[in-house]
Amino acid sequence: MSGWDRIRASGSRLGGGGRSRNSQTTVHLGRVQPQHPGHRTIHCNDREANLPVKFKGNSVSTTKYNLFTFLPKGLFEQFRRVANLYFLMISILSTTPISPVHPVTNVVPLSLVLFVSLVKEAFEDWKRLLNDRVINSTPVDVLQGQKWESIPWKKLQVGDLVRIKQDGFFPADILFLASSNPDGVCYIETANLDGETNLKIRKALERTWDYLHPDKAAEFEGEIQCEQPNNSLYTFTGNLITQKQTLPLSPNQILLRGCSLRNTEYIVGAVVFTGHETKVMMNSMNVPSKRSTLERKLDKLILTLFGVLFLMCFIGAIGSGIFINRKYYYLGLREGVEDQFNPSNRFVVAILTMFTLITLYSTIIPISLYVSIEMIKFIQSTQFINKDLHMYHIESNTPALARTSNLNEELGQVEYIFSDKTGTLTRNLMEFFKCSIGGEVYGTGITEIERGAAQRNGLNIDEVKKSAAAVHEKGFNFDDARLMRGGWRNESNAETCKEFFRCLAICHTVLPEGDESPEKITYQAASPDEAALVTAAKNFGFFFYRRTPTMIKVRESHVEKMGKVQDIQYEILNVLEFNSTRKRQSVICRYPNGRLVLYCKGADTVIYERLVDGDNNLKKVTRAHLEQFGSSGLRTLCLAYKDLSSEWYESWNEKFIQAKSSLRDREKKLDEVSELIEKDLILIGSTAIEDKLQEGVPSCIETLSRAGIKIWVLTGDKMETAINIAYACNLINNDMKQFTISSETDAIREVESRGDQVEIARVLRDWVKQELKKCMDDAQHYLHTVSRPKLALIIDGKCLMYALDPTLRVTLLNLSLNCTSVVCCRVSPLQKAQVTSLVKKGARKITLSIGDGANDVSMIQAAHVGVGISGLEGMQAVMASDFAIAQFRFLTDLLLVHGRWSYLRLCKVVTYFFYKNLTFTLTQFWFTFQTGFSGQRFYDDWFQSLYNVIFTALPVIILGLFDKDVSATLSKKYPQLYKEGIRNTFFKWRVVAVWAFFSVFQSLVLYHSTVAASRSSLNTSGKMIGLWDVSTMAFTCVVVTVNLRLLMACNLITRWHHISIGGSILAWFIFIFIYSGIMTPYDRQENIFFVIYVLMSSFYFYFTLLLIPIFALLGDFAYQGIQRWLFPYDYQIIQEIHKNDPEVSSRVELLEIGNDLTPDEQRSYALSQLPRETSKHTGFAFDSPGYESFFALQAGVLAPHKAWDVCRRASMRQQPAPPKN
């Protein structure tokens, strides 16, 4: 691929450059500037000038190899595997006279294995190449002469002027020059880069706004001096020199490759970085490849095998040293015999025999094991996981995706799940669901959580018939005829309603976008909660449609009848922004009639503190409503307002302006000033937004916890919200003993307000230490009580930071491992990763992280298995993950079905491989004892070389693909079966030892029986058979036995089993018929000639063939019978329970797969847990937009402000706030 690049690059150099190469030295000499190592200088719209500086082309190659590097590089990769390297060495050794076997014995399997691996590599690389080609030949408009011409991306060069149309992707990193939008802005979506779907604004330099049309753009001459390509997505420094002016450039003018253009007809820009030098490509790091625990254990097994091999060779070597003697004159051991048989130096004989035996017994190391496992896992992931209809999400049209096939079986052993909350457990779709206005609850919907709770109490709530007034759109799911379509006018508290709606319509920082009609408008908001509130206002008849720096325009329709619509402009005087300490947001606005009002919304705790005295009844009722909402899993906000007198406001505003313009501690001062005005508020009511849990989450969590998996929620959200969701998901309930370690105590707040960092750290550390100790003691106490209540730990990020300190870490780990569920709130991405690796490394348990956003990436990479939620949010988490699924509930399928089966299959495959090679090699070993330890091979070279790759290769792969103990439905019905995986039941040393024991038994039977049966003549002709006849007989028995043993290991037998097992045995017979039927002119010994025909002419052959496999497998069969009878595995019981169930195909169900819960899920949902009290806490909704960077900063990670935030804040701050009157 890169070779192809070079050709292309040189071609273009020749094509365009024949002329310029000359001109370069003559005409353009003055323009050729030496590139400063620190920057690059780009001449816009002038390819020739850029030529001397050989910028990289825009063609991108993600392939690993090209035609020439494929073999060396691919082989190098292969030989990094120990088994392959070992076989290479054995192959080399077997070309020396020391070897008892022909090189073919080891070379053939090795080359077959290498061939298969290389074909796989080539195939994958080819797919990458095709993908690259598609991307590289996507057309883009480039300015050539005075018009736009469409050229493929790969032809794009640095300095070109390009035009990108709406929804198009940027082909390179581009300097934004002009936009079809009037004010030189464009909107971009950066989902591919950081996973965020909200649009971001980029603004071109004013001076370049005009270069929009081709004729004008052709006149553009500019020189960009900028930094060298780097991988920092959020920084860019450079200057644009145009018309003798130097204009500074910022990230705000850079459009990065990978983003796409939205809501803008088209833009024009100049290419700055191309191809591999673009920021996104420089960011694409290789995700560190993970290896599964099973494979690591497999390494230990292989090492053990090496040990056994060494032991066998050692025994043989000693034997050979003792055996060798001149008395065996027929061996020709005269003076001058080669060292290996020289009786005068027995030590050398032993050493050399050691090497001989290593080559002879090399089959004990299963060479084709890795490639078989790889193949099995590859098919498992591409065919089974990716194509599972149970994991296909119809709404987002997303199937599951296994991004790596290394970890399939790891999915079957997960013990801890670390889950993000927003977007993972919940849909991150905020919907206005209920509200309480003036002490009256509106909204008749029933949340999923309420329904679940009711069902747990034995009530069955039917779906409430929606009234005709019900509206359901994005952000709004509300049904109450009393409010809809102006119905609120008839309510007793119509005035309060009006305040309520106005507060919703005015008090926010949302930007409207698109057509100014209620149907088409879209709201750009920092948090989906805000958008939901504004959407709600719109639906109640207060349609916010335009924002200017000083105005909010609302179209108010007050009556039912159409026509009476009023556009009202509210002057926005001040915005008191939301932040995480204030937990509220206020807007001061002036009505057209001069009324000055402060609208405020915020957390109930914060608002209640600031309410004016009086009307305690309303407060009490509203408080009750808040609790009710909270227990229904809704996110609540309190709304309040306050009329201001003009004078009071003026005096306050002066202080405000002063605070705003202060240089030191501005935020703090602003907060203080805000406190002055945000008091004596009048409560209007509260909103309740449903952050809908993803479908089936509670039942999924319930199933997973029955499977023995512990689920931890790690979220950046507030403690209240996190606890709320934890309740909703059944993670916490009131029967549990909850330990809460929170930094939100008065004492700590007080210390924090003093601002001494050292003091804060000390106090917090002591606090955390003390709390942890207390919790630990309590936990110990509870664990020793009879009832043994379940424990839950709730800890916030700040405390976690200290709890993760090396001195406290062990306590934290002990405490949390004793808890059934753990909720960590307000944690930074880094802490998410720290917690994950705490459990991974500290407790040595297998962990899985699941998340959807960029903030989950570190956690996803830290865990054994990373799962990304795909479909809705961006790609960042998915790109870092090992598996991507569309919905949290698909974890059930992924873990309980695919993971469990993969684990089961892989265990069987590995142990079976171990068994079949050990058995085969041991027969060889027993023979060694009867050959004077000379290392004579028992089997023909070709038998030995094809044993692993042909005669026993396919069935085990079939086993690895198709075996399943119980059906998918039962796997989910009995989640406890999963515990077998967590306990690693099927790949313990004990299991391996049982296989090894029977392997020894079988090899003894196989070898000694065949040999013993051959001591006399075999038929009436009286002729005797020789070594090769016996070995062919033995090999036939080995192939049959080993293949039949596989059949005994199967839980189910499909047509494929018959074909592969029958086929393997048949392949052996076909092979031996041909192989022994021919004489070849090649240099081989004709030992095997006619052997099989000689054998088959005797009863001995048939009798032995019937006896030996049955004799050999007798032990296994009896063991299996006794094991199943007396010590049954769980899955065996389940098999027996459902023995007579008809084979249910899920086909019909799958074809109509909807989002309804399956009956099984509903049942398990209903049965889930004991009835419980209604909780007494209120939900509280307000996502803080900046919390991630806030925490990241505290953790020492620089997370730059998002351009969007910067932009929005700037526009807010610019608002001139002088009073108008």
Partner 1 sequence: MNLKATAASSTSDGTSDSSAPRRNSKKPKYSRFTQQELPACKPILTPGWVISTFAVVGIIFIPIGLASLFASQRVVEIVDRYDIDCIPETLRNDKLAFIQSRETNKTCTRSLTVPMDMKSPIYVYYELDNFYQNHRRYVKSRNDKQLQSKKNENETSSCDPEANASNGLPIVPCGLIAWSLFNDTYRFSLSSKVLEVNKKNIAWKSDQGHKFGDDVYPKNFQSGGLIGGAKLNASKPLSEQEDLIVWMRTAALPTFRKLWGKIEVDLEANEQITVVIQNNYNTYSFGGKKKLVLSTTSWIGGKNDFLGVAYLTVGGLCLFLAISFILLYFARPRPLGDPSFLSWNSDPAGHMN
Q: Which residues are catalytic?
A: 420
**Cβ distance to partner 1 smaller for residue 62 or 1132:** 1132
d(CA 87, CA 64): 25
Site pattern 1157..1186 for partner 1 (x: CB under 8 A): ----------x-------------------
Interface pick for partner 1 out of 14, 71, 1118, 1166 (rule CB under 8 A): 1118
Q: Which stretch binds partner 1 (CB under 8 A): 181-189, 258-266, 392-400, 512-520?
A: 392-400
Q: Is 1188:828 a contact under the CB 8 Å cutoff? A: yes
**Cβ distance to partner 1 smaller for residue 583 or 964:** 964
Give the phi and the psi of residue 416 in degrees, each rounded to 5. -125, 130
Angle value at C-alpha 723, between 717 and 727, nearest 5 degrees: 135
Tell me the closest approach of the beta carbon of residue 699 to partner 1, in angstroms.
15
Q: Is 521:514 a contact under the CB 8 Å cutoff? A: yes
Tell me the closest approach of the beta carbon of residue 427 to partner 1, in angstroms.
20
Residue 1110 near partner 1 by CB under 8 A: yes
- Give the residues across from 710 on adjacent strands: 416
Tell me which DSSP letter residue 302 carries.
Answer: H
Instruction: Retrieve residue 597's tokens.
Output: 């009002």
Q: Is 388:899 a contact under the CB 8 Å cutoff? A: no
Residue 1130 near partner 1 by CB under 8 A: yes
Task: Tell how strand 401-402 and strand 596-602 pair up.
Answer: unpaired
Interface pick for partner 1 out of 1138, 1172, 1177, 1209 (rule CB under 8 A): 1138
Q: Which stretch binds partner 1 (CB under 8 A): 161-169, 409-417, 1133-1141, 1181-1189?
A: 1133-1141
Give the phi and the psi of residue 432 in degrees, each rounded to 5. -65, 120
Instruction: Retrieve residue 888's tokens.
Output: 């949290």
Residue numbers 956-985 binding partner 1 by CB under 8 A: 962, 964, 968, 976, 979
Residue numbers 47-106 binding partner 1 by CB under 8 A: 100
SS3 of residue 921 by DSSP: helix
d(CA 1208, CA 511): 9
Tell me the closest approach of the beta carbon of residue 869 to partner 1, in angstroms.
16
Q: Is 811:776 a contact under the CB 8 Å cutoff? A: yes
Interface pick for partner 1 out of 1094, 1095, 1192, 1199 (rule CB under 8 A): 1094
Residue numbers 1026-1045 binding partner 1 by CB under 8 A: 1026-1027, 1029-1031
How many chain residues interact with partner 1 (CB under 8 A)? 112
Interface pick for partner 1 out of 71, 303, 394, 612 (rule CB under 8 A): 394
Residue numbers 706-765 binding partner 1 by CB under 8 A: 706
Q: Is 532:432 a contact under the CB 8 Å cutoff? A: yes
Residue 325 near partner 1 by CB under 8 A: yes
SS3 of residue 426 by DSSP: strand
SS3 of residue 640 by DSSP: strand
Cα dihedral 300/302/306/311 (nearest 10): 80
Residue numbers 842-861 binding partner 1 by CB under 8 A: none
**Cβ distance to partner 1 smaller for residue 394 or 810:** 394
Residue 378 near partner 1 by CB under 8 A: no
Residue numbers 928-947 binding partner 1 by CB under 8 A: 930-932, 934-937
**Cβ distance to partner 1 smaller for residue 828 or 1098:** 1098
Residue 1022 near partner 1 by CB under 8 A: yes
Q: Which stretch binds partner 1 (CB under 8 A): 114-122, 146-154, 1084-1092, 1182-1190?
A: 1084-1092
Residue numbers 96-125 binding partner 1 by CB under 8 A: 100
Tell me the closest approach of the beta carbon of residue 1169 to partner 1, in angstroms.
9
Tell me the residue length of the chain: 1221
Residue 990 near partner 1 by CB under 8 A: no
Interface pick for partner 1 out of 248, 755, 1121, 1219 (rule CB under 8 A): 1121
Residue type at position 623: R
**Cβ distance to partner 1 smaller for residue 1074 or 1118:** 1118
Tell me the closest approach of the beta carbon of residue 712 to partner 1, in angstroms.
21
Residue numbers 761-800 binding partner 1 by CB under 8 A: 788
Q: Is 223:49 a contact under the CB 8 Å cutoff? A: no
Task: Tell how strand 883-885 and strand 865-869 pair up.
Answer: parallel
H or E segment and range at residue 569: strand 565-576
**Cβ distance to partner 1 smaller for residue 631 or 1076:** 1076
Query: Token match 């479909």: residue?
Result: 871
d(CA 535, CA 757): 42
Site pattern 341..370 for partner 1 (x: CB under 8 A): x--------------x--------------
Residue numbers 460-499 binding partner 1 by CB under 8 A: none
Residue 1119 near partner 1 by CB under 8 A: no
Tell me the closest approach of the beta carbon of residue 752 to partner 1, in angstroms.
43
Tell me the closest approach of the beta carbon of residue 392 to partner 1, in angstroms.
5
Tell me which DSSP letter residue 985 carries.
Answer: G
SS3 of residue 246 by DSSP: strand
Residue 617 near partner 1 by CB under 8 A: no
Q: Which stretch binds partner 1 (CB under 8 A): 201-209, 424-432, 1130-1138, 1175-1183?
A: 1130-1138
Interface pick for partner 1 out of 1093, 1156, 1193, 1215 (rule CB under 8 A): 1093
Tell me the closest approach of the beta carbon of residue 1148 to partner 1, in angstroms.
8
Rounded to the nearest 10 degrees, the angle between the axes of helix 369-379 and helix 954-962 is 40
Task: Tell how strand 710-714 and strand 416-419 pair up.
Answer: parallel
Interface pick for partner 1 out of 327, 561, 664, 754 (rule CB under 8 A): 327
Collect contacts of 1091-1095 with beta carbons under 8 A, ≥24 apart.
Answer: 1091/1028, 1091/1029, 1091/1032, 1092/1032, 1094/1025, 1094/1029, 1095/1018, 1095/1025, 1095/1029, 1095/1032, 1095/1033
Report which of 401, 402, 406 is spatially closest to residue 374, judged by C-alpha positions.
406
d(CA 1028, CA 1035): 10
Tell me the closest approach of the beta carbon of residue 1118 to partner 1, in angstroms.
6
The region that residue 755 occupies, defined by phi over 0 for left and psi between -120 and 50 for alpha, beta otherwise, is: left
d(CA 817, CA 672): 43
Tell me the closest approach of the beta carbon of residue 395 to partner 1, in angstroms.
11
Tell me the closest approach of the beta carbon of residue 975 to partner 1, in angstroms.
10
Residue numbers 894-923 binding partner 1 by CB under 8 A: 901
Start-to-end C-alpha separation, the chain: 70
Interface pick for partner 1 out of 176, 433, 1068, 1100 (rule CB under 8 A): 1100
Residue 387 near partner 1 by CB under 8 A: yes
**Cβ distance to partner 1 smaller for residue 136 or 356:** 356
Interface pick for partner 1 out of 94, 628, 1041, 1104 (rule CB under 8 A): 1104
Residue numbers 205-244 binding partner 1 by CB under 8 A: none
Interface pick for partner 1 out of 1147, 1198, 1214, 1220 (rule CB under 8 A): 1147
**Cβ distance to partner 1 smaller for residue 38 or 1022:** 1022
d(CA 434, CA 690): 8
Interface pick for partner 1 out of 9, 1013, 1212, 1217 (rule CB under 8 A): 1013
Query: Token match 């149309």: residue?
Result: 165
Interface pick for partner 1 out of 398, 632, 816, 921 (rule CB under 8 A): 398
E strands within 114-199? 139-144, 147-152, 161-165, 173-179, 185-189
CA distances 97 to 102, 178, 320, 338, Å, are 9, 77, 17, 10
